[in-house]
């Protein structure tokens, strides 16, 4: 009889050290069958080797899925309609991938008749919260196993010893190079934590960065690009229509070549601690700048300002794992409504770590009226005399308060 009545578990499986050990540990600890799920969300590594490793460990049901387009279209692009940035800096690269993985975990659990799902997130991080809040929102009675909260294998050395004892085949390298950092990558970003980064004063080694050249070594000649928008989403690059994932793939390559998208952040985790992490988000950095430029031309002032007020709350929802919450869906509906007019083209210059907006246009939805804004003769389009009454009315409360203070 399996422990606690768990006969089958769906494991979010990368094929790396942690999840390979977890696979065996689940079998030994719970006496259960393990179904593995490996998602390609643009991490830049082959996912098929995970199949071979799972097969070598006797796994019978193996799910390997290419989710890049779904990830870009249904998660990243909606988030960028909101211009979401956590604590003014973090573009939420890890956070936004978790709801998709949680969704597929519970879907596979239903398909295979599994009793539980399992993940490799530690008990110190945000990912455990994101995975589990998402899973509970989509499958209220789901059982979740988080080995890092149960076992005593709390160091890399113990994990490696366990793997050796149980004959677990593990590739200890990442992208062909051994890394001392805890890394997470997808189509939106790559993150680095641990090792020397645990000292907030220590500058990251140049060799750490994988996707971007240093701005100092970026080309001396800038690159110009044009991004076309429809309803707040990029639909073409330099006039060539392309899918969301393809847009991000190309922008990552272009941005990386020009040293764009590096961030070094100390952030507040949902579980309470501060954490230092470094991030490369080339495509996201370009997309945020371009989207705000497109909105500046087409979005009404008060709608734009209200969006900016709501954005930190929206970003926190994603960071803390509430993608599938009613409040995020409510905000998303409001945000998407504003995007109906965000149509046009933005021209950008990429140069030595910078994304510079050099032009924006919209043939159908621009609110910029040159006849009103001009410094030349506007032929009566704007009566400057109107400004006097506008100013005096807005100054009324200030004048009343000033008189009161003078009298007292």
Alpha-carbon torsion (55, 57, 61, 66), positive or negative: negative
Q: Phi and psi (nearest 5°) for 293?
A: -65, -40
Active-site residue, 300 included: no
pLDDT in tens, 286-309: 999 999 999 999 999 999 999 999
Catalytic residue among 51, 68, 81, 98: 98
SS3 224: strand
In the predicted model, is pLDDT for residue 177 greater than 80?
A: no
From residue 13, give the alpha-carbon distance in Å to each of 37, 107, 127.
5, 15, 14
In the predicted model, is pLDDT for residue 170 greater than 80?
A: no
Mean pLDDT confidence for 182-199? 95
pLDDT in tens, 34-46: 999 999 999 988 8
For residue 11, what is the enclosing H or E element? strand 8-12
In the predicted model, is pLDDT for residue 76 greater than 50?
A: yes
From residue 83, give the alpha-carbon distance in Å to each of 46, 68, 174, 192, 337.
31, 21, 31, 23, 14
Radius of gyration of the chain (CA): 25
Active-site residue, 366 included: no
Return the CATH number of the domain spanning residue range 183-360.
3.90.1260.10
Which band of pLDDT confidence, cut at 50, 70 and 90, is reported for residue 156? confident
Catalytic residue among 7, 143, 156, 182: 182
First-to-last CA distance in the chain? 83
In the predicted model, is pLDDT for residue 148 greater than 90?
A: yes
Q: Which of 278, 46, 24 is nearest to 174 (CA)?
A: 46
**What span, in angstroms and rounded, lies between the C-alpha atoms of 198 and 255?**
27
Q: Residue 174: what pLDDT? A: 42
Q: Does domain 3-71+97-180 have CATH number 1.10.150.120?
A: no
The percentage of residues in the chain with a pLDDT greater than 90, rounded to a whole number, is 88
**The pair of three-digit structure tokens given for residue 342, joined into one six-digit string:** 């965000």
Q: Residue 178: what pLDDT? A: 61
Active-site residue, 328 included: no
pLDDT in tens, 241-290: 999 999 999 999 999 999 999 999 999 999 999 999 999 999 999 999 99
In the predicted model, is pLDDT for residue 1 greater than 50?
A: no
Exposure string (b/e) for 68-96, b if CB count within 10 Å is 16 or more?
Answer: bebbbeebbbbbbbbbbbbeeebbbbbbb
- For residue 349, count CB atoms less than 10 angstroms from its CB and return exposed for 0-12, middle for 13-18, buried for 19 or more: middle
Which band of pLDDT confidence, cut at 50, 70 and 90, is reported for residue 175? very low
Catalytic residue among 40, 115, 127, 184: 127
Domain assignments of the chain as residue spans, ordered by start? 3-71+97-180, 183-360
Q: Which of 25, 8, 322 is nearest to 148 (CA)?
A: 25
Which band of pLDDT confidence, cut at 50, 70 and 90, is reported for residue 407? confident
- For residue 327, count CB atoms less than 10 angstroms from its CB and return exposed for 0-12, middle for 13-18, buried for 19 or more: exposed
Q: What is the chain's mean pLDDT, rounded?
A: 94
In the predicted model, is pLDDT for residue 365 greater than 50?
A: yes
Mean pLDDT confidence for 355-368? 97
Which band of pLDDT confidence, cut at 50, 70 and 90, is reported for residue 169? confident
Active-site residue, 28 included: no
Number of Cβ atoms within 10 Å of the Cβ of 29: 15
SS3 311: helix
pLDDT in tens, 307-342: 999 999 999 999 999 999 999 999 999 999 999 999
């Amino acid at each position: 009889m399996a422990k606690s009545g768990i006969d089958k578990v769906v494991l979010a499986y990368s094929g790396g050290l942690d999840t390979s050990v977890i696979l065996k540990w689940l079998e030994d600890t719970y006496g259960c069958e393990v179904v593995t799920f490996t998602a390609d969300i643009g991490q830049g590594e082959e996912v098929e080797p995970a199949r071979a490793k799972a097969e070598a460990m006797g796994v019978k049901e193996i799910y390997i899925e290419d989710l890049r387009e779904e990830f870009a279209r249904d998660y990243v692009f909606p988030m960028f309609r909101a211009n979401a940035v956590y604590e003014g800096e973090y573009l939420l690269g890890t956070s936004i991938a978790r709801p998709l993985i949680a969704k597929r975990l519970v879907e596979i659990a239903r398909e295979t008749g599994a009793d539980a799902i399992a993940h490799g997130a530690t008990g110190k991080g945000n990912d455990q919260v994101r995975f589990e809040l998402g899973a509970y929102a989509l499958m209220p009675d789901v059982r979740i196993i988080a080995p890092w909260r149960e076992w005593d294998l709390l160091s890399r050395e113990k994990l490696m010893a366990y793997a050796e004892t149980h004959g677990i085949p593990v590739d200890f390298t990442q992208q062909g190079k051994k890394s001392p950092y805890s890394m997470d990558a997808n189509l939106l970003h790559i993150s680095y934590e641990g090792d020397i980064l645990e000292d907030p004063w220590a500058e990251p080694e140049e060799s750490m960065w994988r996707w971007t050249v240093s701005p100092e070594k970026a080309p001396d000649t800038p690159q110009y690009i044009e991004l076309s928008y429809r309803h707040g989403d990029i639909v073409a690059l330099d006039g060539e229509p392309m899918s969301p994932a393809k847009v991000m793939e190309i922008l990552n390559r272009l941005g990386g070549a020009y040293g764009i998208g590096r961030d070094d952040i100390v952030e507040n985790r949902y579980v309470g601690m501060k954490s230092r992490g470094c991030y490369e988000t080339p495509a996201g950095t370009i997309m945020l700048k371009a989207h705000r430029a497109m909105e500046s031309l087409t979005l009404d002032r008060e709608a734009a300002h209200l969006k900016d007020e709501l954005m930190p709350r929206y970003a926190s929802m994603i960071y803390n794992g509430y993608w599938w919450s009613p409040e995020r869906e409510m905000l998303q509906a409001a945000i998407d409504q504003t995007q109906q007019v965000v149509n046009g083209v933005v021209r950008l210059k990429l140069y030595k770590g910078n994304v510079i907006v050099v032009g924006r246009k919209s043939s159908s939805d621009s609110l910029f009226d040159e006849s009103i804004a001009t410094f030349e003769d506007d032929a009566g389009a704007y009566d400057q005399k109107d400004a006097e009454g506008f100013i005096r009315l807005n100054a009324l409360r200030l004048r009343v308060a000033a008189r009161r203070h003078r009298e007292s």
